[in-house]
Amino acid sequence: MSARDQILNRLRAVHTETLPQPQTAEYYTEMSPKWDTPALRLQHWANTMRKVKGEIVWCHRDTWQDTFAQVVAEKNIAKIVLPLQTEHGQQAAEILHNKRPVTEICAYSQTLEQWKDEFFNTVDAGFTDIKAGIAHTGTLLLWPTPEQPRTMSLVPPIHIALFDTTTLYDDFYAAMHGLDMADGMPTNVVLISGPSKTSDIQLTLAFGAHGPRDLVVLALLPDDISMEDVEGAA
């Protein structure tokens, strides 16, 4: 009998048993962070994102358009790409036409190969909505679609994100189950925790190296929570 056969026979003779499935649900139920109030949870999410230079602008459903136009003006954005096939993209375009007509609006209506030179070299900002948030890590979860591809949030120097804070989950495990990611997830989900950053060179943290240098989150508060509730919840 060859050495190979001897080794294989010994392997086949080894007693095997099925390992028990880990109790992930129980683990995350016990280990997931808890907050006493929704305002404290929102504050933790915002403070965590701010630690890595994410900008949070609190607003409500009836004020976010004016806030959006104000951010565009303050950032001196000359050209912005909007998801014009979506409701939030159309609303953003409407307010810019009325209050910021000097800002050029463009749509992501071509393939990246067709307009990548213009996209990479002339567009100042991209505007997207957000699928959900993760409180524990101060994270936004972006769900790319054909109308709103992920490059809209990754290529322009400024990313303005519209986030409905009622979709904030405690942790990533809760978000996975709440969004039913096992069924119908897109080919790529973008997790955003502040502007693009790297410390590859001499361990010095630099922002904007591989993506947006600025992230501005328009955080839509529920009607029963005010900005004062969140900022003064500590």
pTM of structure: 0.85
In this structure, is residue 91 part of a structural domain? yes
**pLDDT tens for each residue of 127-180:** 999 999 999 999 999 999 999 999 999 999 999 999 999 999 999 999 998 999
Integer angstrom CA distances of residue 56 from 23, 66, 188: 36, 15, 25
Q: Is 16 exposed, middle or buried (0-12, 13-18, 19+ CB in 10 A)?
A: exposed
CB 83 within 8 A of CB 108: yes
In this structure, is residue 53 part of a structural domain? yes
Q: Cβ atoms within 10 A of the Cβ of 33, count?
A: 11
Write the single-letter amino acid at 180: D
In this structure, is residue 5 part of a structural domain? no
**pLDDT tens for each residue of 44-100:** 999 999 998 999 999 999 999 999 999 999 999 999 999 999 999 999 999 999 999
Mean per-residue pLDDT of the chain: 89
Domain enclosing residue 163, as ranges: 35-139+153-195
In this structure, is residue 99 part of a structural domain? yes
- CA–CA separation, 123 and 14 (whole Å): 62
Does the pLDDT at position 234 exceed 60?
Answer: no
In this structure, is residue 46 part of a structural domain? yes
Q: Please, what sign has the CA dihedral across residues 164, 170, 175, 178?
A: negative
In this structure, is residue 228 part of a structural domain? no
Q: Please, which residues bridge with residue 189 across strands?
A: none
Q: What's the structural domain count of the chain?
A: 1
Q: Which of 12-26, 41-55, 175-189 has the lowest mean pLDDT?
A: 12-26
In this structure, is residue 117 part of a structural domain? yes
In this structure, is residue 213 part of a structural domain? no
- CA–CA separation, 32 and 55 (whole Å): 25
CATH code: domain of residue 111: 3.40.50.10420
Which H or E element spans position 220?
strand 214-220
Question: For 73-149, where are the E strands, in sequence order?
Answer: 79-82, 104-107, 125-129, 132-134, 139-142
